[in-house]
């Protein structure tokens, strides 16, 4: 459900979605964005392009992580931020019982329709809800999947606490963040992490100058993610860097689409092999983590 770090909520044609600023009401902006663009987020898993390829790679990586767990039939799984239900239906197809949760009504309805179309409605329960206060009892799920959720949230503590609360001891979580240090943004003054703190005023001024406003996502360093997960009693079992494009300068792509896509695939293959630098500088980082037996969530 997430775009890359620092991207504002825009239509596929690049037009900013009007409304209150994210600083004023971030959840309102996010819900409005995803409601308007629900069809786009369904189609991103079927189209060709760099962003499309990254999201498709992310879904494959997440499902591959789930498959390594060999969960028993009918194990209960939560898909937080279910979006249009692509991952939800894929999880149900594995014989799992899935609760699909999203704060956007349009996304919940899209997931419900996808479940019916896939004849998987008997294994899927959809509901409206917020990751900050989920309507589930403690220790309910064997697995929580949250793709494209954390990148849109300004802080990780409360959402991770909630996810930890509903996972049983020994259970697992698959989550991703938008990486703070992204190779594709290294030369772009509007996006580079070098302007994240010491020159935040300049970055924000440049974004205003180029007309960027509205909902945004928030980058997280891999170290910060590890610390946040550890604080909630999780151990990371596997981590994968995803996404090497599009490369931009002042928010404009600097390579032809076909060239950029080929470069992404090449760099991704090297990252998957554990190449130094590349293994930690994708646009996204996805992890499989396990909740330690006896782990207690914070207050």
Q: How far, in whole angstroms, is CA 8 from its chain's centroid? A: 15
Q: For residue 156, what is the DSSP state?
A: S
The pLDDT of residue 192 is 78
* 98, β-bridge pairs: 77, 124
Contact yes or no for 21/213 (Cβ under 8 A): yes
In the structure, what pLDDT confidence band is assigned to residue 3 with cuts at 50, 70 and 90? very low
Among the residue ranges 25-29, 212-216, 270-274, the one predicted with the least confidence is: 212-216
Q: Domains in the chain, ordered, with CATH?
A: 44-291 (3.40.50.150)
- Is the pLDDT higher at 95 or at 7? 95
Could you tell me the two tokens for 176? Answer: 């991703």
Task: Give pLDDT tens digits for 162-190.
Answer: 999 999 999 999 999 999 999 998 888 87
End-to-end CA gap in the chain: 28
Q: Is 288 helix (H, G, I), strand (E, B) or coil?
A: strand
The pLDDT of residue 26 is 61
**For 257-272, what is the mean pLDDT?**
96
Instruction: Record the pTM.
Output: 0.84
> Of all residues in the chain, what percent carry a pLDDT higher than 90?
68
Task: Give pLDDT tens digits for 54-63.
Answer: 999 999 999 9
The pLDDT of residue 19 is 38
């Amino acid at each position: 459900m997430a775009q890359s770090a620092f991207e504002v909520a825009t239509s596929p044609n690049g037009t900013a979605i009007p409304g209150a600023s994210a600083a004023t009401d971030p959840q309102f902006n996010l819900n409005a964005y995803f409601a308007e663009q629900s069809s786009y987020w369904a189609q991103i898993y079927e189209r060709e392009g760099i962003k499309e390829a990254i999201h498709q790679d992310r879904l494959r990586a997440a499902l591959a992580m789930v498959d390594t767990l060999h969960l028993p039939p009918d194990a209960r799984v939560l898909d937080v931020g279910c979006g249009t239900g692509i991952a939800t239906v894929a999880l149900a197809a594995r014989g799992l019982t899935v609760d699909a949760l999203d704060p956007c009504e349009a996304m919940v309805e899209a997931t419900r329709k996808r479940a019916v179309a896939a004849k998987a409605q008997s294994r899927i329960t959809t509901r409206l809800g917020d990751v900050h206060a989920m309507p589930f009892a403690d220790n309910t799920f064997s697995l929580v999947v949250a793709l494209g959720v954390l990148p849109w949230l300004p802080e990780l503590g409360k959402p991770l606490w909630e996810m930890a609360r509903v996972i049983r001891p020994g259970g697992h979580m698959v989550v991703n963040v938008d990486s703070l240090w992204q190779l594709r943004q290294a030369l772009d003054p509007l996006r580079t992490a070098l302007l994240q703190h010491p020159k935040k005023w300049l970055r924000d001024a440049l974004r205003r100058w180029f007309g960027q406003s509205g909902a945004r996502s928030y980058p997280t360093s891999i170290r910060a993610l590890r610390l946040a997960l550890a604080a909630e009693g999780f151990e990371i079992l596997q981590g994968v860097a995803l996404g090497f494009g599009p490369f931009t300068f002042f928010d404009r792509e600097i390579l032809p689409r076909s060239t950029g896509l080929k470069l992404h695939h090449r760099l991704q293959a090297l990252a998957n092999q554990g190449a130094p630098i590349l293994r930690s500088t994708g646009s996204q980082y996805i992890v499989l983590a396990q909740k330690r037996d006896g782990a207690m969530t914070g207050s």
